[in-house]
Amino acid sequence: MSVQETRRAIKPVSPLREAAQMFCRNRPAIFGTVLLSLIVAAVFYGTFISGADPYEIVWAPQAFPGEAENIPLGTDYMGRDILTGLLKGGGPTIAVGLSAALITVVIGISVGAMAGYFGGWADNALMRFTEFFQVLPALLFAMVLVTLFSPTLTTIAIAIGIVSWPQTARLTRAEFLRIRNLEYVTAARAVGAGNNRIIWRVILPNALPPLIVSATLTIGVAILFEAGLSFLGLGDPNTMSWGLMIGANRSYLLDAWWPVTFPGLAIFLTVLAVSLIGDGLNDAFNPKLRQR
């Protein structure tokens, strides 16, 4: 039958491995990965190894970075060490970001998958529900939730999750709607697969690439949210976090730039790293780019 194909033995190339190779060839993505690893390592050191107390007053207030040996990044308006604050404050920020992203993804994928797969009545109801949530400006809604239900890390994570799932839901729905109509799904039904198998084993794996990208980006968004809430004074008052440092020093901005600049930079670099990784994944999963 196929004459010339017999000559070459071909190795299986899984789509996943191809994506991984693409990712590794993407320089910004690698930079993001390295940057994120460094940040996570530093935060890990601050949270679990370093015994320093971020609330301890170590020097004169608003001391310039490097003014004394033990304050390489200066002190804040109360004389607390900023570097210690950064190392200690990263933990809560990242933890809230991760758990909020998890909540977002779980709600978003469940709602979106049901709406997209079952369509019709269920889709209509779920999408109206989603639209309702999209009408509320996310940060404002999160503020209201946190104000009403006391600002703890858990409330903050839940609030961020509640306000940001609609986008994931819409994306999931769109992917499910698209894939649902592809012939391989019909083919699976033709060989006797039931709804469960089709949703979880056939459609979801194929819908996953854009969802992974969006989940990654959601971590970045959640970190920004946490920072925003803390900045507005809605952070957990008992936990040092990057946003809180900015919010607390905001009033003295024009007297001393460093207590605000460094935590902001930390947030910026973390989100940057995450979004570079997200972009890299996006390119890696994009079959159009792979052709080139």
Partner 1 sequence: MSASTKPLLEVRDLAVRFELPKAGLFAPKRHFHAVRGVSFAVPQGRTLGIVGESGSGKTTTAMAAIRLRPADGGQVLLDGRDILKLTQDELRRARRDFQIVFQDPYSSLNPRERVGSIVREPLDLMKVGEPGEERNERVRELFSLVGLRDDQIALFPHQFSGGQRQRVSIARALATNPRLVVCDEPVSALDVAIQAQILNLLRRLQDELGLSYLFISHDLGVVQFICDEIAVMYLGRIVEYAPRADLFRTPRHPYTASLLAAAPSLSRRKSAGYRRVSAVRGDPPSPFNIPPGCAFASRCPNAQTRCREEEPVLRQFGEGRVACHFPLD
Partner 2 sequence: MSEPLLKVDDLRVEFDTRHGRVTALDGVSFDLMPAETLGIVGESGCGKSITALSLMGLIPSPPGHVTGGRIEFEGNDIAAMTKRRQRQMRGHDIAMIFQEPMTSLNPVFTIGDQIAEAILLHQDVSRGEARNRSIELLKTVGMPEAERRARAFPHELSGGMRQRVMIAMAISCRPRILIADEPTTALDVTVQAQIFELMRGIQEEFGVAIMLITHDMGAIAEMADRVAVMYAGRIIEEGDADEILDNPLHPYTRGLIGCIPLLGKEARDDGRPPKLAEIPGVVPPLHLLGQGCSFADRCPLVHDRCHREKPLLTGSTHCVACHATQMEAA
Partner 3 sequence: MVYLLRRLAFGVLLLAGVVILNFLLIRLAPGDPAAVIAGEMGGASQEVLASIRERYGLDKPLLVQLGIYLSNVVRGDLGESYFFNRPVIDLILSRLGPTILLVMAAQLLAIVLGVFMGVLASLKPQGFLSGFVAVISTVGYAAPVFWTGMMLTILFASIFPILPVEGMSSARFRGGTFDYILNVARHLILPATTLGIIFLAQYARLARAAMIDVLGADYVRTARAKGVPESRVVFKHALRNAVLPILTVAGLQFGNLISGALLVETVFNWPGMGRLAFDSILRRDYPVLLGVLFFSAMMVVLANILTDLSYRLADPRINTEGRS
Binding site for partner 1 (CB under 8 A): 1-2, 5-6, 9-10, 12-16, 182-184, 186-194, 197, 202, 205-206
CB 116 within 8 A of CB 130: no
Q: Which does 193 bind (CB under 5 to 8 A by kind): partner 3, partner 1, partner 2, none?
A: partner 1
Q: Which does 49 bind (CB under 5 to 8 A by kind): partner 3, partner 2, partner 1, none?
A: none
Q: Which does 113 bind (CB under 5 to 8 A by kind): partner 1, partner 3, partner 2, none?
A: none
Q: Which does 233 bind (CB under 5 to 8 A by kind): partner 3, partner 2, partner 1, none?
A: partner 3
CB 180 within 8 A of CB 120: no
CB 169 within 8 A of CB 130: yes
CB 42 within 8 A of CB 87: yes
In 3D space, the residue among 166, 194, 154 whose CA is nearest the CA of residue 110 turns out to be 166
Q: Which residue has the tokens 């936990």?
A: 239
* 188 versus 264: smaller Cβ distance to partner 3: 264
291 lines the binding site for partner 2 (CB under 8 A): yes
Binding residue for partner 2, selected from 17, 103, 172, 292, defined by CB under 8 A: 292
- Binding part of the chain for partner 2, among 2-10, 83-91, 110-118, 241-249 by CB under 8 A, reads 2-10
* 4 versus 238: smaller Cβ distance to partner 2: 4
> What token pair was written down for 282?
């996006």
CB 268 within 8 A of CB 32: no
290 lines the binding site for partner 2 (CB under 8 A): yes
In 3D space, the residue among 53, 47, 90, 83 whose CA is nearest the CA of residue 68 turns out to be 83
Q: Which does 279 bind (CB under 5 to 8 A by kind): partner 1, partner 3, partner 2, none?
A: partner 3
Tell me phi and psi for residue 57, to 5 degrees: -85, 115
Q: Which does 3 bind (CB under 5 to 8 A by kind): partner 2, partner 1, partner 3, none?
A: partner 2
Binding-site size for partner 2 (CB under 8 A) equals 8
Encoded amino acid at 1, one letter = M
**Site residues, partner 3 (CB under 8 A):** 28, 131-132, 134-141, 143-145, 147-150, 220, 224, 227-228, 231-234, 243, 246, 250, 253-254, 257, 260-261, 264, 267-269, 271-272, 275-276, 279
Q: How far is the CB of 110 from partner 1 (least distance, A)?
A: 21
Q: Is 64 exposed, middle or buried (0-12, 13-18, 19+ CB in 10 A)?
A: middle
> What token pair was written down for 52?
């320093």
In 3D space, the residue among 237, 229, 285 whose CA is nearest the CA of residue 97 turns out to be 229
Chain residues binding partner 2 by CB under 8 A are 1-5, 290-292
